[in-house]
């Protein structure tokens, strides 16, 4: 689609990896004050970037910008989610921290498996570009879940 040569793939993977490292660091800083707001914003940007990628994938320059943006937000939520889970666990039971931490990582693994399966079905059924729209829809679901969690968080803090 972008007509990237096999020799260029490593370069784009490196760009993506550097963006992931930067995004992960930024995510840790963003989530310190208001993790729910940070997650909400991260997921919105991620969903929009995935949706936009459907349209920009045919242009190497726009794709490169999208790859950088997707790299920045891809793992930006990880430290925020991990921290938030630990905050919640401590607020309910200090004994639950270890279990909550492991369940969070298990949920990430489950998401990888589920997303890979659904992505494979979309790829097989509708083609490569459909995976971008599916991923955007999955992130939209995360945004909705953050809205629900925000209501629970408001009740928890009262």
- Domains of the chain with CATH codes: 6-156 (1.20.1250.20)
Which residues, 6+ apart, have CB-to-CB distance to 85 below 8 Å? 100, 101, 103, 104
Q: What is the distance between the alpha carbons of residues 145 and 85, in angstroms, rounded to a whole number?
A: 15
Q: What is the distance between the alpha carbons of residues 89 and 97, in angstroms, rounded to a whole number?
A: 5
User: Per-residue confidence at 50, pLDDT binned at 50, 70, 90?
Assistant: very high
**pTM, to two decimals:** 0.87
- How does pLDDT run across 3-32, given as a tens digit for each residue? 888 999 999 999 999 999 999 999 988 888
- How does pLDDT run across 98-153, given as a tens digit for each residue? 898 888 889 989 999 999 999 999 999 999 999 999 999 999 999 999 999 989 88
Please report the pLDDT score of residue 70 as a whole number.
Answer: 95
- How does pLDDT run across 76-105, given as a tens digit for each residue? 999 999 988 988 888 888 888 889 888 888
Count of other CB atoms within 10 angstroms of residue 99: 11
Taking CA atoms, 148 is separated from 27, 82, 89, 99, 144, in Å, by 21, 18, 18, 23, 7
User: Per-residue confidence at 44, pLDDT binned at 50, 70, 90?
Assistant: very high
């Amino acid at each position: 689609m972008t007509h990237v040569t096999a020799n260029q793939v490593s370069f784009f993977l490196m760009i993506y990896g550097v963006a992931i490292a930067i995004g992960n660091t930024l995510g840790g800083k963003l989530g310190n004050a208001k993790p729910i707001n940070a997650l909400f914003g991260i997921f919105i940007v991620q969903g929009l970037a995935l949706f936009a990628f459907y349209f920009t994938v045919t242009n190497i320059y726009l794709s490169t910008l999208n790859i950088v943006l997707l790299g920045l937000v891809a793992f930006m939520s990880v430290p925020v989610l991990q921290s938030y889970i630990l905050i919640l666990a401590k607020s309910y039971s200090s004994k639950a921290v270890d279990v909550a931490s492991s369940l969070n990582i298990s949920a990430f693994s489950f998401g990888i498996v589920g997303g890979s399966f659904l992505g494979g079905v979309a790829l097989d059924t509708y083609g490569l570009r459909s995976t971008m729209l599916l991923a955007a829809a999955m992130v939209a679901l995360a945004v909705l879940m953050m809205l629900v969690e925000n209501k629970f968080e408001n009740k928890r803090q009262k």
